[in-house]
Structure 1
Amino acid sequence: MRSIFLAIQWFFENIMFIPQNFFRQLELSSWTGANIVNWIFMIICAVATVYWCKQLTLHHASGEDDQDTTAHSFLK
Structure 2
Amino acid sequence: MKDFFYAIQDLFVNVLFAPFDALRALELDSWWAANVVSWILLTIGCVAFAYWMKQLKTFGNE
TM-score (norm 1): 0.67
Q: CA RMSD in A?
A: 1.5
Aligned length: 62
Supply the distance in 2 between the matched residues of 1:2 and 1:57 (Cα, whole angstroms): 54
In structure 2, the gaps of 5 or more residues are none
For structure 1, which runs of at least 5 residues remain unmatched after alignment?
64-76
**Which residue identity is paired with 1:48?**
A
What residue in structure 2 maps to residue 9 of structure 1? Answer: 9
Question: Runs in 1 of length 4+ with deviation above 4 angstroms?
Answer: none
Higher relative CO (Cα under 8 Å, sequence separation at least 6) belongs to: 2
Identity %: 45
Query: Max radius of gyration: which structure?
Result: 1
TM-score by length of 2: 0.79
